Amino acid sequence: MIVLALLGVLLLSVYAYKTKKLTLSGAISAFVVGALISFGLGFKGLLLLAIFFFTSGFWSRFYQERKENEITAKGSTRDGWQVLANGGFAAICALLFSILQDPIYICGFVASLAAANADTWASEVGPLAKRRPIHIIKWKPVDAGTSGAVSAIGTAAAFAGSFIIVVVSIFFWWSSSFASHHLLFSLTLAGFLGNLFDTLVGATGQVLYQCPRCGLETERKIHCNGPTEKKYGLRFLNNDTVNAICTGTGALFGIVAGLILL
């Protein structure tokens, strides 16, 4: 079964690379993440990962022309760091479960993927709002794609993204558990709070640059064919780091929920 699972992960990684959903480094990282998840949680874990992957891909293509901007640092093709930021903690939780056989790590795995899905859905659906989003700290309108920006539709998408991952996991692992309803609420909230923490960190500490030629504030180090200048934030706290904080926080909240409810 493990061999079949690994073959499936390999084929999915190659497919994602060939269709330009992942760079080469992204495909390699996806294989490593998928292999660890298949080793720890088998086909159920891989199916949950696939739901995240395909739903994220769907929303990234949905009205793509309306979401293009020059603020975010990377495009729709994910590289290795992006894959690890979104799936690394989930893979660690799966590995810990395979070693310790403690179901709290399944909760961590689910909540980490729920946080990643919440963040991705919010990032992809939020820019479709007719009104400009509000900065969560400054509480004033900002351009779509700005770190720390929130909107009603983006917030709803974040909750829905977390919920879809958790509700499937309930059927996989806890459908007959007396705590299933509590887990559904707690793990959905854990994923949503991971996304919220991502937004807060992005709003307060993520590095932001400014183009000296056109004045645009952006996450990119190059703009208008020249280097941008740091405006504020910590240089190491880029989008990938913030995403890792999001999924790590989700995993932590999920483990705590598991400790309380299981």
Q: Which range in 162-166, 223-227, 238-242 is most confidently predicted, on average pLDDT?
A: 162-166
Residues pairing with 210 in the sheet: 217, 229
Q: Number of C-alpha atoms within 13 angstroms, CB side, residue 10?
A: 6
Predicted confidence (pLDDT) at residue 135 exceeds the cutoff of 80: yes
Burial of residue 46 (number of CB atoms within 10 Å: 0-12, 13-18, 19+):
buried
Average pLDDT, the chain: 89
Residue 76: predicted pLDDT: 63
* Domain edges within the chain: 2-261
Higher pLDDT, 188 or 214: 188
pLDDT digits (tens, 9 = 90+) for 51-62: 998 888 787 776
Report, as an integer, the average pLDDT of 216-241: 83
pTM of full prediction above 0.85: yes
pLDDT at 39: 92
Region 225-235 average pLDDT: 83
Separation of alpha carbons 241 and 63, rounded Å: 27
- pLDDT more than 70, % of the chain: 94
Which residues does residue 230 pair with via DSSP β-bridges, in sequence order?
A: 209
Each residue of 141-194: pLDDT tens digit? 887 777 888 999 999 999 999 999 999 999 999 988 888 999 999 999 999 999
CA separation, residue 219 to residues 19, 53, 73, 121, 223 (Å): 26, 24, 5, 20, 10
CA 20 to chain centre: 19
Tens of pLDDT along 33-76?
A: 999 999 999 999 999 999 998 888 787 776 565 545 555 655 56
Q: What's the mean pLDDT in 196-220? A: 86
The model's confidence at residue 241, banded by pLDDT at 50, 70 and 90, is: very high
Residues 210, 217: contact at Cβ < 8 Å? Answer: yes
155-192 b/e with 16+ CB inside 10 Å = b?
A: bebbbbbbbbbbebbbebbbeeeeeeeebbebbbbbbb
Neighbours of 56 (CB within 10 A): 22
d(CA 13, CA 54): 12
pLDDT for 66: 55
Query: What pLDDT sits at residue 250?
Result: 98
Quickly state the pLDDT bin for 3 (edges 50, 70, 90).
confident
Average pLDDT over residues 92-116: 97
One-letter-per-residue 3-state SS of 133-175: CEECCCCCECCCCCCCEECHHHHHHHHHHHHHHHHHHHHHHHC
Give the pLDDT of residue 145: 73
Supply the pLDDT for residue 100.
97
Residue 5: the pLDDT is 81
Map tokens 């990377």 to a residue: 74
